[in-house]
Amino acid sequence: MRRRARLLWLGGTSGALLAALVAPWAAGAPWPAMALGLGMGLAVGWLADRIAAREVDRAEGALADVRAEARRRAAELRAGESRLRAVLDAMVEAVFVTDATGVIVTANPALARIAGRAPEGRTPIEVIRHPALAEAVEAALRGRSQRVELDVDDRHWVAHVAPLPEGEGALAVLHDVTEMRLAERVRRDFVANASHELRTPLAAIRGYAETLRDGALADAEAARSFVERIVRHALRLQSLVDDLLALSRAESPDWAPRLEPVDVGATARTVVDELRDRAAEHGVRLSVEIEAPEGPRAQADATSLEHVLTNLVDNAIRHTRPGTHVRVRARTDAGAVLVEVADDGPGIPERHLPRIFERFYRVDPGRSRQVGGTGLGLSIVRHLVQRMGGSVSVDSQIGTGTTFTIRLRAADEGERPSA
């Protein structure tokens, strides 16, 4: 640009100088007039040079501004694209964008995990083989938003599909609602089961009370029998309410177990001593087997661990036949403490084991109510153990017996145990 300015200056100056010399001479002017013309020509050339230089500088500045603005906008576009990609990659929802022909041009990793391959360059039906999604994308390409529900590989999805501006394609977002649907089903089942369990003793109490009111009080023997049944059903109702409260507490995010070193052997002996009379009534023998005299120490909540063992031992007493031996064993294993409640009773059929820890699930509903179970004990056990950072499992063989195993983190050496 500067070189061009110099050339312009030389051309302008030479032209002005030539014009200043030739014009007076051609007109027959004397040399003073020619000198004056020469000066004026030089002045005009100098002025033209200054104007040209300013225009060149102005043009150079404008071009520099354009280049800087282009670079800034390009940087903004790259940053925006990076942010968009980061957002898409971080989303748990599956997202894809198609072009106007319905071919996927952009997708996030969540969709790739569902498809098991790269979705770009494929149609939605090739990625997720569900006709409802393909129809929703076709409708979006015609300008209509759609919401569809999909069942794919044991997962439940809700897809929202919307058209892009100016018919450029479609945008789809897939939400995995499997856990939400499961939670809704569990909640409905829980409400139905709890209502049923509460209604049964209440109906019995009401029936016996109305019978007494209508004249049974005059028969002392019948009245005593009815009152005893009312008390029995009231106790069952109280047990159910207590278990519901215990389960609610174990599931509540507002409750946190107080983890500390706990002497598992001492806790097991306390539980067995408290249940020994009940076991004797059922003809069941209880024993505690600890690998060392002082017993292993687990990192646990002392009250919760006692509640867990009480539920497991009481469950074994109620669901085994007379003559059964129930053992509570505790030992260490690779940085953990294993606590087992084992019996040599009739065992549990294998088909029931996957659901044994569900709320209100009973292997034998009729017998469970007969022996006073609420159907919540094992669910409480599972939740309390999990809240203490442990796990619980069950192993059972028909005719051999059942063993429930609790695994908790062992307490660090040197920490003082809580009995």
Domain presence at residue 247: yes
The answer to whether residues 404 and 299 belong to one domain is yes
pLDDT digits over 101-118, tens only?
A: 999 998 888 888 888 888
Q: Are residues 172 and 185 in the same domain?
A: no
Instruction: Beginning with the edge strand found earlier in the chain, give each strand of the sheet holding 146-152 in spatial order.
Output: 104-107, 94-98, 170-176, 155-163, 146-152
Judge if 55 and 126 occupy the same domain: no
Quick one: tokens of 325? 């031996």
Residues 50 and 76 in one domain: yes
What would the 3-class secondary structure string for 150-196 be? Answer: EEECCEEEEEEEEECHHHCCEEEEEEECHHHHHHHHHHHHHHHHHHH
Residues 21 and 98 in one domain: no
Given this model, what pLDDT does residue 287 score?
92
Of 93 and 91, the one with more pLDDT: 93
- Yes or no: say if 404 and 392 are a contact pair by the CB < 8 Å rule: yes
Among 47-56, 61-70, 167-176, 376-385, the least confident range: 47-56
User: 286 and 396 in one domain?
Assistant: yes
**pLDDT value of residue 189:** 77
**Are residue 160 and residue 190 in the same domain, yes or no?**
no
The domain boundary, picked from 251, 278, 305, lies at 251
> In which order are the strands placed within the sheet that holds 401-409?
285-290, 325-333, 336-343, 401-409, 391-397
Q: Encode burial over 350-386: b for 16+ CB neighbours within 10 A, e otherwise.
A: eeeeeebbbbbbbeeeeebbeeebbbbbbbbbbbbbe
> What percentage of residues in the chain have a pLDDT greater than 90?
31
Decide if 242 is inside a domain.
yes
Please indicate, yes or no, whether residues 320 and 398 belong to a single structural domain of this protein.
Answer: yes
If you average pLDDT over residues 231-254, what whole number do you get?
A: 86
Show which of 46, 69, 84 is a domain's final residue: 84
Considering only 53-57, 68-72, 177-181, which range has the smallest mean pLDDT? 53-57
| The two three-digit tokens of residue 30, written as one number | 């004397």
Domain residue limits at 58 = 2-84
pLDDT bin (cut points 50, 70, 90) of residue 309 is: very high
Q: What is the mean pLDDT of the chain?
A: 81
262-277: pLDDT as tens digits = 999 999 999 999 999 9
Same domain, yes or no: 150 and 228? no
- 252 or 313: which carries more pLDDT confidence? 313
Q: What CATH number is given to the structural domain containing 160?
A: 3.30.450.20
pLDDT tens digits, one per residue of 29-48: 454 554 555 455 555 556 66
Residue 18 has pLDDT above 50, yes or no: no
Same domain assignment for residues 358 and 238: no
pLDDT confidence of residue 247: 84
pLDDT, position 99: 93
pLDDT confidence of residue 140: 92
Contact 209, 230 (CB under 8 A): yes
Q: What was the pLDDT predicted at 169?
A: 92
Percentage of residues in the chain with pLDDT exceeding 70? 80
The predicted pLDDT at position 327 comes to: 93
10 and 46 both lie in a single domain: yes
State the residue for tokens 């404008």: 62
345 plus 362 within the same structural domain? yes
Q: How many domains are contained in the chain?
A: 4
| CATH number for the domain harbouring residue 219 | 1.10.287.130
- pLDDT at 53 exceeding the cut of 80: no
Greater confidence, 200 or 96? 96
- Buried b vs exposed e over 297-312: b needs ≥16 C-beta within 10 Å? bbbbbbebbbbbbbbb
Residue-wise pLDDT tens digits, 66-82: 877 788 788 777 776 66
Highest mean pLDDT, choosing among 25-39, 55-69, 83-97, 335-349: 335-349
Predicted confidence at residue 371, as pLDDT, reads: 53
Q: Among residues 302, 304, 300, which one has the least CA distance to residue 312?
A: 304
When pLDDT is averaged across residues 141-145 and rounded to a whole number, the result is 92
